[in-house]
Chain A
């Protein structure tokens, strides 16, 4: 469509623009529907995996001899939690009420699951966004250095750092940061996990492995752009190298970089489990950990699907932004 659309644009702009808008809307609607289906299927998958769980706190409580429930009472309590139904029926009931916004009650605290998650999500979102921002910053510095430093040991070091970052377990990074920054230098207090210093250290723990993946993609993309003719032309025109890198190499490298930022979000959300535990924060990660210990299926299910949902939605937004960011992709969205 590209050439005809360009021609049409110059002569009769409104119809072409409307058609392209319609096509984009259809693409957006299709992608959104697909993302919603993925979230629902993730719910189903996690539900079925957890249904294989041998025990749950309700049954454990009911069967314990000290509790002294009569058989009728046991049956009544099981019925209240829907545990007397076959698994598939339980799934349908649970999915149905989840779609209406009711995630059920926590088996260990009897609080609504939405309350449990609502209390925790703010802390995790703060942590995750700070971590992503730090990761992008670190990756950008490494990427620019990989281009601006000439060949030599320093450049080799910059290019080797991402692999080293990726290979170090995040719990070791977190514990070393605590040891050095909090215990050694006294930069933040271990008592208040929500202080700015502690949050930054926790975010750095998450950011270091994640920045490595972003940096690897960015460095590869920059290397590729550097081999293009337009980069050589820009240098031949006498532009200083810094400007060539920033204006001519960085811009075409942004698209793959944005893609990988969306993908590493999954690792940030998964990694929050360990990071929040180490830094004593109360977030989705610690909610998951407590739910695992207590075999609290409704909370675990909701927390995992919530993380998957955040991941899917952010990546959906990135997908929808592509055609707006890159003119070359406009018009091709219909085929995806």
Chain B
């Protein structure tokens, strides 16, 4: 340990020139993009990646440990776990996308109005956001999914609702930051209408951190939806959403730990990749 290390702004990048980090994405970011590509391919064409049937198993092969025939092992009905994970991808990914879309659109609109209009609109929206933030996110999602009924689509909506406040808060902060800039004043003096200024000047300038949050929230949504599915608030079996696979595996934890560990690892690796990409985009902005 050197004394200089204690004071360097960031011991990891201090030794490297900044320009190199900027020109080419780091290897971890490239790997993360690779993971996302694989997952997207799984959800678009699951049949290309596995020859096993996700719903029908071979009873004689039940509880086979991971090996050459079944890469990730089989469950209590002899179904191939990898096939079930691959076929569950589309549902898990789509529902996370729906959740982020809801949070982004509703939260973004609220934050935009709140920050741009100010006054009583800001007070009302601000108070609503404060209330949403006060209710622990997962509990809020559980309440909403209870009211809507248990299925994966509703779990996605509930997750989106619980993300609205985070988007609204960031969007408002960004709008307030941009709103006071000189070029906005200039646009207003030029006679630009509110709608024009919002869409042409404020939104484009506020959008980058919001996109980075949206990507991060995509990972969070995967986790929340998996949690809801784990508790049984998503589609019932034989669906194979990732969270549901872990819940199924839980029954056989002692006999076949891979049934929990494999889908758990898939979730973790996907979410980790998503958050790595998000933080990389964020860094690009601050540098």
A residues near B (Cβ < 8 Å) are 37-39, 41-42, 45-46, 49-50, 52-54, 146-151, 155-156, 159, 163-164, 166-172, 175-176, 178-179, 183, 223, 226-227, 231-232, 235, 241, 244-245, 266-267, 269-271, 273-274, 277-278, 288-289, 292, 295, 300, 304, 307-308, 311-312
Q: Are B131 and A179 in contact (CB under 8 A)?
A: no
Query: Which of A50, A179, A311 sits near B260, CB closer than 8 Å?
Result: A179
Q: Is B253 an interface residue (CB 8 A)?
A: yes
Query: Which of A46, A151, A170, A278 sits near B15, CB closer than 8 Å?
Result: A151
Nearest B residue (CB) for A226: B7
Chain B interface mostly: helix
For chain B, give the interface size range. Answer: 35 or more
Q: Are B144 and A49 in contact (CB under 8 A)?
A: yes
With A and B bound together, what is the CA distance between A223 and B286 in angstroms? 15
With A and B bound together, what is the CA distance between A295 and B148 in angstroms? 12
Query: Which of B10, B15, B142, B279 sits near A288, CB closer than 8 Å?
Result: B142
Provide 20 A-B residue pairs closer than 8 Å at the C-beta atoms, listed in order of the A residue: A38-B130, A38-B131, A41-B131, A46-B135, A49-B143, A49-B144, A151-B12, A169-B223, A170-B227, A175-B250, A226-B6, A267-B136, A267-B138, A270-B138, A271-B138, A274-B138, A304-B143, A307-B139, A308-B136, A311-B136
With A and B bound together, what is the CA distance between A175 and B130 in angstroms? 34
Which of B9, B147, B149, B279 has the largest count of A CB atoms less than 10 A from its CB?
B147
List A contacts of B140 (CB < 8 A): 304
With A and B bound together, what is the CA distance between A244 and B2 in angstroms? 13
With A and B bound together, what is the CA distance between A278 and B230 in angstroms? 10
B residues near A (Cβ < 8 Å) are 1-3, 5-12, 14-15, 127-128, 130-140, 142-144, 146-149, 219, 223, 226-227, 230-231, 233, 243, 246-247, 249-250, 253-254, 257, 260-261, 264, 267-269, 271-272, 275-276, 279
Q: Are B135 and A307 in contact (CB under 8 A)?
A: yes
Q: Are B260 and A175 in contact (CB under 8 A)?
A: yes
Chain A interface mostly: helix
Query: Which of A37, A183, A274, A307 sits near B227, CB closer than 8 Å?
Result: A274
Query: Which of A50, A156, A168 sits near B268, CB closer than 8 Å?
Result: A168
Minimal beta-carbon separation of B224 from chain A (angstroms): 9
Q: Are B250 and A45 in contact (CB under 8 A)?
A: no
Q: Are B6 and A169 in contact (CB under 8 A)?
A: no
Minimal beta-carbon separation of B25 from chain A (angstroms): 16
With A and B bound together, what is the CA distance between A169 and B220 in angstroms? 10
Which of B14, B230, B249 has the largest count of A CB atoms less than 10 A from its CB?
B230
Nearest A residue (CB) for B249: A175
Query: Which of A37, A245, A307 sits near B6, CB closer than 8 Å?
Result: A245
Which of A147, A172, A226, A267 has the largest count of B CB atoms less than 10 A from its CB?
A172
Q: Are A167 and B219 in contact (CB under 8 A)?
A: yes
Minimal beta-carbon separation of A77 from chain B (angstroms): 23
List B contacts of A38 (CB < 8 A): 127, 130-131, 134
Nearest A residue (CB) for B257: A179
